[in-house]
Amino acid sequence: MSISPFSRRSFLATSALGAATLAMPSVLRAQGAGVKLGILHPVSGALSYSGTQGRLGAMLAIEELNAAGGIKGLGKIDAVLGDALSTPEGGNAEVEKMNAAGVAAIVGGYASAICLAVSQAAARYDLPYVVDVGVADSIVTRGLKNTFRFGPGFGAIAKGAIENLAAINDGAGKPAKTVMIVHEDSLFGAGLAKLLNTELPGRGFQILETIAHPTPTRDFNNVVLKIKAQNPDLVIPANYYNEYVLLARTMQQQKVRPKGIYSVLGGAASSYKFVKEFPDAAKYIMDCNHWFDPKNPKALELKKKVEDKGQFYTYEVYMNYSAVLLAADAIARAGTADRPKVIEALASSTFAGHVMPYGPTKFVNGQNEGAAPCNTQVLDNDIKVVLPEKFAQTKPVFPMPA
């Protein structure tokens, strides 16, 4: 007979200790008094890269504000950091903790599913919530008074993407007539593909095929095989970074070179990382995505700061940076951390000190009306804004030179 070194009592004691450790709040508090601001991102789990980048942007904004003395009359900003664990439930749990910690507002969320949950949880406490990225239109259409989205929603992005694509094609003498869409099969990709399928035929494009794929997809050879067989003028990918990398690499390998590659929300032309790592595959790719105002010196200053830290200047960074500045501005104008007053100040915000090409903020039912995506293109190993004209650094090169 073997004698277990664990007695029932010691087992109970150990597991109780374990449970207590698990139950300990994971909300980390930065030192100092002043105004508490909840910074909520999925910094672990599947979305952790984006979440970490978002937190970086938010913390850079807080650092800057605190270096200048914090919020006038209220003191320094005390960041209450939360990890949404890449799940809506994780986001909810953090809202509870942040509410208990007495934050004046919450900024972040990143993924649509998390933003949907967080906005609702925060609404129960009348807690002001500034959405950083989450594009699902329903985030701001449920009539929640506490929720404000700084960036554009899905509908606005899709509309902009289609209009700009038509403009680019018309400007070049309509070289592209046939299109193939390659999209990931969740809400984001499938929703976009559906919109493109409805809108593009009316703009003179013939859609040859729409190919859905799961995330993750391990191999894109079959997809590229189909593209090669149908030889479309234009390929429109709508997928996440990893799949995008594999798709672009496989297209290069199989020597498939359409007249244009035009991504919507995520592609080479909105990723400095991709351009740096695959300069050849990235060349001339166009993208419609969140992008900073390239003519704003503050945006370029932030870019340098982020790159000096050895990080890529991704949209999560500058959108969160801007969203925190926006929230801080509202708290400053409210003159108090009192939540209803902060909500009021956000609703009437005309904040222009951000780094996005949106103009001064103007919230209508919680959506920043000026928010719009930019069209970018990979040119000379760099990413240039080509549309809208007001922010454009250069003209689009389309079709891609052979």
- Which positions lie near other proteins, rule CB under 8 A? 44, 46-49, 51-52, 185, 211-214, 216-219, 221-223, 225-226, 229, 241-242, 245-246, 249, 252-255, 277-278, 280
C-beta of 303: minimal distance to other proteins in Å?
18
CB nearer other proteins, residue 173 or residue 310: 310
By CB neighbour count within 10 A (0-12 exposed, 13-18 middle, 19+ buried), where does 144 fall? middle
Query: In b/e form, how buried is each residue of 205-227, taking b as 16+ CB within 10 angstroms?
Result: bebbebbebeeebeebeebbeeb
Name 382's bridge partners: 379
C-beta of 242: minimal distance to other proteins in Å?
5
CB nearer other proteins, residue 282 or residue 372: 282
C-beta of 263: minimal distance to other proteins in Å?
16
CB nearer other proteins, residue 308 or residue 389: 308
Helix axis angle, 154-171 to 187-199, nearest 10°: 50
C-beta of 217: minimal distance to other proteins in Å?
6
Q: Which ranges of 28-153 would DSSP assign to H, the alpha helix?
A: 48-67, 88-101, 112-124
CB nearer other proteins, residue 184 or residue 329: 184
Beta strands in 190-303 (DSSP E): 206-213, 234-238, 260-264, 286-289
Query: In b/e form, how buried is each residue of 336-371, taking b as 16+ CB within 10 angstroms?
Result: bbebebbbbbbbebebeebbbbbbebebeebbbebb
CB nearer other proteins, residue 198 or residue 242: 242
C-beta of 262: minimal distance to other proteins in Å?
20
Place of tokens 């208990």: 100
C-beta of 130: minimal distance to other proteins in Å?
24
CB nearer other proteins, residue 229 or residue 402: 229
